[in-house]
Amino acid sequence: MSNPIATPPQTLAQKLIARASGLEHPRPGEFVTCRVDLAMCHDSGGPRRLKPMLAELGAPIWDRNRVVLVIDHYVPAEDEDARRIVRIARDWAREQALPHVYDSVGISHVVLPQCGHIRPGMLCVGGDSHASTAGAFGAYMLGVGSTEMVGVLVSGEIWVQVPQTVFMRWSGRLALGVSAKDMMLAMIGRFGVNVGHDHAIEYCGEAVSALSMNERMTLTNMSAELGAQVGLIAPDDETRTWLWQAGERDIELDWRSDEDAPGVRHNFDASTLAPQIALPHSPALARDVADIEPTAIQVAYIGGCTGAKLDDLRAAARVLAGYRIDPGVRLLVAPASTHERDVAEREGILRHLQESGASILAPSCGLCAGHGDGIPEDSTVISSIARNGKGRLGADSARVFLASPYTVAASALRGRITDPREVLWDGDVEVVH
Amino acid sequence: MDKTVVGSGLLQRGRRAVTTGVASHRVWRLPADVDTDALAPGRWMKYGAEVIARHCLESLRPQFALQARPGDVIVAGANFGIGSSREQAASALVHLGIVAVVAPSYGGLFYRNAFNVGLPLLTCRDAEAIADGETVSFDLERGIVRCVADTSGQELAGPLFSCEPIPPFLLAMVRAGGLLPQLKRRLHGPLGDAAGR
């Protein structure tokens, strides 16, 4: 670690890179080489693409204990092609004797911290844009493509351009029915989809501190939609408690930006934030749900790494428990992991969702990776997933709106896009627990 | 190959005379915010690059994959390649013979991926002044793009656009044909082919 007296004030991003690069004071803009603490691959960008390239190089994996394989994209296999991809992944895991393999138990970004692979202070790479999710735990996790992953697997290193930090400071507290997804859509609506890879986003302020780890993961996950290199949140007691339950011990909490660290600062008030919705076909087309034209929907989808964590399922159940969804709507719920699904089952949440008319799908990337044919052409869809570019859910002509699980559930209930505050009230908390 | 050599008289309009012929490239003009789902649609991701390439940009320009010719370039609006980490978004373009992309800004992961698969990206603030069907030449070292023919193929002493410098180690990577050939050389070849950093 660098000597705090000898170095100028640094951001959390700089400190994480300093540790991984061995440089005392990495300067924003500078290209540095970092040692990788953990590399995550999944079945889509992973073995089927890595194996031939590694064979071509004839080089071994630098440290298999630092490699995690998650099979989450092509499961459950819908056809022979998917079965082939999954088979390659499983065979490769055996050939390489990988010690950390998670097969069909959920989406990597949620499984990784749940299974104790992410700790504050780490520098990781993941073969997926939403790898930035790990930033919720104070870890620097860079998304990479397959060729770059091969580079990491044979060298244990990655180049990083030291980012400038944008501090998104949220004061106040979120109102009932307003969640991290609304904060995120509001920020993307304001700053667009590409703040640039030369930027790290750090979320801070009392409203961020008050968020559960699941909700914090929504912010760091969708830092990908802001176009940032990473999204970070300084770890605190909430982080430690969550990681403790995931089996992690010896959590270092002193990973934070110095008081006067350089960066751009933006301030937001959580208490005045209204539920947000992003119009087709970009997360940047965000506005207040209350401000949009009446819009009938045919599909409501709660799923993906950002939109179907336990707290997202709880939010949906809070809206739907005891009610039936509109008969014109198909509500699809794909929990982010088997863990989320099992806890939701124990809490009675899954039953509430099913009784309201939801179909529960397998915990995997599923529709959000363009798999399956759940989304009809020309349909209007509202979803808690992270992005809504044309064709994201498999149907090019589908119009996909992005919103929080509260808003998705409220819209399923009414058959049209609905501000969840119209159907929620303070007194119904006990319904779901 | 769709490469024509442009007379040197035209190119002498630059700061310094270009003595050798310079390859020119037909432009596919695309809008801003072209994401990786448009470049490599999710439902084709289970297949190899040749299949994905056939569906590249089909939701935006259905004829692109059929009509793109080796040597063509893409000129796009801001935020080209935003979205997923899937490098097939870049390798589909390479597969179709696209030799460079010119845009005001790129998705960060696409930027890394493109150089990793040997596709150079020129970051050019004024890219949007270049029209569909025009012909351009470019120089990666000097960071310039120049319009050399209009949409009808008429030679043009077109404007010269300056681009942000490409970091030398990425330039070296793209010269090597991408990260994989570079790694191969570093692991097995003669000593000293460092990444240039």
**Going from the N-terminus, what domains does chain A have, and what CATH number goes with each?**
12-268 (3.30.499.10), 277-423 (3.30.499.10)
Judged by CB atoms closer than 8 Å, whether chains meet at A389 and B41 is answered as no
Judged by CB atoms closer than 8 Å, whether chains meet at A45 and B85 is answered as yes
CB-side neighbour CA atoms (13 Å) of A59: 21
Judged by CB atoms closer than 8 Å, whether chains meet at A57 and B183 is answered as yes
DSSP code string of A197-223: TTEEEEEESHHHHTS-HHHHHHHHHTH
CA distance A360 to A352: 11
B89 with B184, same domain: the answer is no
Task: Give the mutation candidate from A160, A197, A229, A393 for the B interface (greatest B CB count, under 10 A).
Answer: A197
B113 with B64, same domain: the answer is yes
Cβ atoms of residues A285 and A292 within 8 Å: no
Question: Is B18 within a domain?
Answer: yes
Residue of B nearest to A224 (CA): B83
Question: Is B3 within a domain?
Answer: no
Question: Is B101 within a domain?
Answer: yes
Q: State the DSSP H helix or E strand holding residue A125, giving kind and residue range, or none if neither.
A: strand A123-126
**Chain B residues with CB inside 8 Å of A369's CB?**
42, 45
Task: Give the mutation candidate from A154, A161, A193, A195 for the B interface (greatest B CB count, under 10 A).
Answer: A193
Question: Is B2 within a domain?
Answer: no
B161 with B94, same domain: the answer is yes
Judged by CB atoms closer than 8 Å, whether chains meet at B87 and A145 is answered as yes
B20 with B106, same domain: the answer is yes
CB-side neighbour CA atoms (13 Å) of B20: 3
B121 with B54, same domain: the answer is yes
Question: Is B151 within a domain?
Answer: yes
B112 with B39, same domain: the answer is yes
Tell me whether B166 touches chain A (CB under 8 Å).
no
CA angle centred on B139, ends B17 and B20, rounded to 5° = 40
What pLDDT score does A6 carry? 65
What pLDDT score does A338 carry? 98
Task: Give the mutation candidate from A392, A400, A402 for the B interface (greatest B CB count, under 10 A).
Answer: A392
Judged by CB atoms closer than 8 Å, whether chains meet at A151 and B178 is answered as no
CA A322 to chain CA centroid, Å, is: 29
Cβ atoms of residues A320 and A413 within 8 Å: yes
Q: Domain with B26 in it: what CATH number?
A: 3.20.19.10
B116 with B189, same domain: the answer is no
| Structural domain of B69 | 8-166
What pLDDT score does A56 carry? 96
DSSP code string of B84-150: ---THHHHHHHHTT--EEEES-B-HHHHHHHHHTT--EEE-TTGGGSPTT-EEEEETTTTEEEEEE-
B105 with B185, same domain: the answer is no
Structural domain tally of chain B?
Answer: 2
Q: Which class for B181: exposed (0-12), middle (13-18), buried (19 or more C-beta within 10 A)? A: middle
**Chain B residues with CB inside 8 Å of A377's CB?**
none
Reply yes or no on whether the pLDDT at B190 is more than 90.
no
CA distance B120 to B142: 13
Cβ atoms of residues A182 and A288 within 8 Å: no
Question: Is B134 within a domain?
Answer: yes
What pLDDT score does B19 carry? 35
Tell me whether B41 touches chain A (CB under 8 Å).
yes
* C-alpha separations of A353 from A82, A316, A358, B41, B135 in Å: 29, 8, 5, 31, 57
B146 with B178, same domain: the answer is no
pLDDT digits (tens, 9 = 90+) for B101-146: 999 999 999 999 999 999 999 999 999 999 999 999 999 999 999 9
CA-wise closest residue to B45 among A383, A224, A128: A128
Tell me whether A127 touches chain B (CB under 8 Å).
yes
Question: Is B1 within a domain?
Answer: no
Judged by CB atoms closer than 8 Å, whether chains meet at B42 and A394 is answered as yes
Cβ atoms of residues A140 and A165 within 8 Å: no
Amino acid identity of A337? S
What pLDDT score does A427 carry? 58
- Nearest by CB: B45 against A147, A370, A396: A370
Cβ atoms of residues A16 and A160 within 8 Å: no
Taking 50 as the pLDDT cut, the residues of chain A under it are 2, 429-433
pLDDT digits (tens, 9 = 90+) for A341-389: 999 999 999 999 999 999 999 999 999 988 877 899 999 999 999 999 8
What pLDDT score does B79 carry? 95
Judged by CB atoms closer than 8 Å, whether chains meet at A57 and B180 is answered as yes
What pLDDT score does A371 carry? 83
Greater pLDDT, B31 or A372: B31
- Average pLDDT (B85-107) is 97
B135 with B86, same domain: the answer is yes
Question: Is B127 within a domain?
Answer: yes
What pLDDT score does A431 carry? 44
B32 with B50, same domain: the answer is yes
B192 with B153, same domain: the answer is no
What pLDDT score does A433 carry? 35
- Nearest by CB: B112 against A148, A224, A392: A148
Q: Give pTM, 2 decimals.
A: 0.93
